[in-house]
Amino acid sequence: MTIFRNIALVGPYSSGKTTLFENLLYITKATTRKGSVSEGNTVGDAAGEARDRQMSTEVTAASVNHGGLSFTFLDCPGSVEFLQETLNALVGVDAAVVVCEPDPARLLTLAPLFQSLDAWQIPHLVFINKMDRATAAFGDLLATLKQVSSRPLVLHQYPIGQNETLQGFIDLVSEAAFHYHPDAPADPIPLPPALQAQEKAARTEMLETLADFDDHLLEELLEDIEPPQAELVQDFKAELEADLIVPVFLGVAEAGFGVRPLLEALVREAPEASAMATLRGCIDQSGSEQPLVAQVLKNYFSAQGGKLSLVRVWQGILTDGMVLNQVRVGGIYRLLGQQQQSLRQAEAGRL
């Protein structure tokens, strides 16, 4: 059985969502060449208006296989002009990655987006992008983010350096340090001695926040027992799914820094499509028959292709030829931007 994870990339205008999306598609081998926004050859932003303005003007969907899972990523526009487009798509995902810039003034503009995510109980994580261009110390950036998030932030990574000195990150679960390489996996390195105190403080805060929602972990901390890493991963997953915490990651999407660790975290810790369907009350457990529950998130219109609807299947199976509300389904596709791959059916969880 296929396991689905549907993830929206959201955040302020120009924070790097399309660049991150492009990197995710490249890393998961859905594309063989990484596109760039400035060169106008990304999978996202294929619409003429988006290319002309070098900004996203509508949602782009791409489905990829990775880590034994089927991911659908939605690259959402950040400009307030297209806010409704983004909000419409958000109701169909299992989690959102809030992509933001390390600039306190711009971080404050996240408040309305966090409010929408909170109101609809959409589990979300934060990816602080453009760490090569931070305008404040990391601690100050986090303090600003905490002001705008109603859910507690839980740092998953700690940066090694910043701006010109950015070298890599420390994974706070494993306490392993890594050195970034452009468009290649990061290498393990010894934990820099100069960062040991900050790392300890950040890890203690991470553990204490996770323990606020897990009594077992709290007991371990009180008894000075080192919790197993698997327990921490399990806590991140359970507490994210329950929309209790906001895990924080960082990187430089343009160089591919931090994109693999983010993806691996989505494999380990992002909510299951089935869990979100249950949370939304879309699963009818009364009988063995599972009637179809599907939701249209967006319609695309093109001169050649006609109307194409972006649909989240919450329950049951959508099959080609089905008649829904007097409209016959004429073709089901898995999307990679404008590329389409035909499917016979779309089962629960697929977007």
Ligand X SMILES: Nc1nc2c(ncn2[C@@H]2O[C@H](COP(=O)(O)OP(=O)(O)OP(=O)(O)O)[C@@H](O)[C@H]2O)c(=O)[nH]1
Residue 14 found at the interface with ligand X (CB under 6 A): yes
The interface region with ligand X, picked from 153-161, 247-255, 266-274, 323-331 by CB under 6 A, is 247-255
Contacts of ligand X in 24-63 (CB under 6 A): 37-38, 55-56
Nearest approach, Cβ of residue 61 and ligand X (Å): 14
Which of 79, 167, 278, 295 forms a contact with ligand X (CB under 6 A)? 79
Query: Considering only residues 133-152, where is the footprint of ligand X by CB under 6 A?
Result: 133
Q: Minimal distance in Å, beta carbon 164 to ligand X?
A: 12
Q: Is residue 84 involved in binding ligand X (CB under 6 A)?
A: no
Q: Which does 31 bind (CB under 5 to 8 A by kind): ligand X, Mg ion, none?
A: none
Please identify, using beta-carbon distances, which residue of 130 and 237 lies nearer to ligand X: 130
Contact with ligand X (CB under 6 A) among 62, 186, 253, 263? 253
Q: Which residue number, 105 or 201, has a Cβ lying nearer to ligand X?
A: 105
CA proximity to 130, closest of 108, 99, 165, 153: 99
**Residues 136 and 104: beta-carbon distance below 8 Å:** yes
Stretch that binds ligand X, among 9-17, 113-121, 266-274, 340-348 (CB under 6 A): 9-17
Give me the phi and psi of 17, to 5 degrees please: -65, -45
Q: Which is nearer to ligand X, 255 or 273 (CB)?
A: 255
Classify residue 325 by its DSSP letter: T
Pick the closer one to ligand X by CB: 52 or 284: 52
Identify what 132 binds: ligand X, Mg ion, none; CB under 5 to 8 Å per kind.
Answer: ligand X
Q: Shortest approach of ligand X to residue 106 CB, angstroms?
A: 11
Q: What is the DSSP string of 247-316?
A: EEEE-BGGGTBTHHHHHHHHHHHSPPHHHHHHHTT----SSS----EEEEEEEEEETTTEEEEEEEEEES
Burial class from Cβ neighbours inside 10 Å (0-12, 13-18, 19+) for residue 212 reads middle
Of 123 and 258, which CB lies nearer to ligand X in the complex structure? 258
Q: Are 12 and 78 in contact (CB under 8 A)?
A: yes
For the bound state, the minimum distance from the C-beta of residue 183 to ligand X, rounded and expressed in Å, comes to: 12
Query: Measured from the CB atom, is 51 or 203 closer to ligand X?
Result: 51
Q: Does 96 bind ligand X (CB under 6 A)?
A: no
CB distance 43 to 22 below 8 Å: yes
CA distance readout (Å), 322 to 261, 265, 295, 296: 40, 37, 15, 15
Sites of contact with Mg ion (CB under 5 A): 17-18, 56
Type and span of the H or E element at 72: strand 69-75
Please tell me whether residue 109 adopts helix, strand or coil conformation.
coil
- Nearest Cα to Cα of residue 205 among 252, 259, 248: 248
Q: What element of type H or E holds 119?
A: helix 111-119
DSSP assignments along 150-205, one per residue: SSPEEE-EEEES-GGG--EEEETTTTEEEEEETTEEEEEEPPPGGGHHHHHHHHHH
**Residue 129 sits in the site that holds ligand X (CB under 6 A):** yes
- Single out the residue of 18, 31, 157, 209 in contact with ligand X (rule: CB under 6 A): 18
Binding site for ligand X (CB under 6 A): 13-19, 37-38, 55-56, 77-79, 129-130, 132-133, 252-254
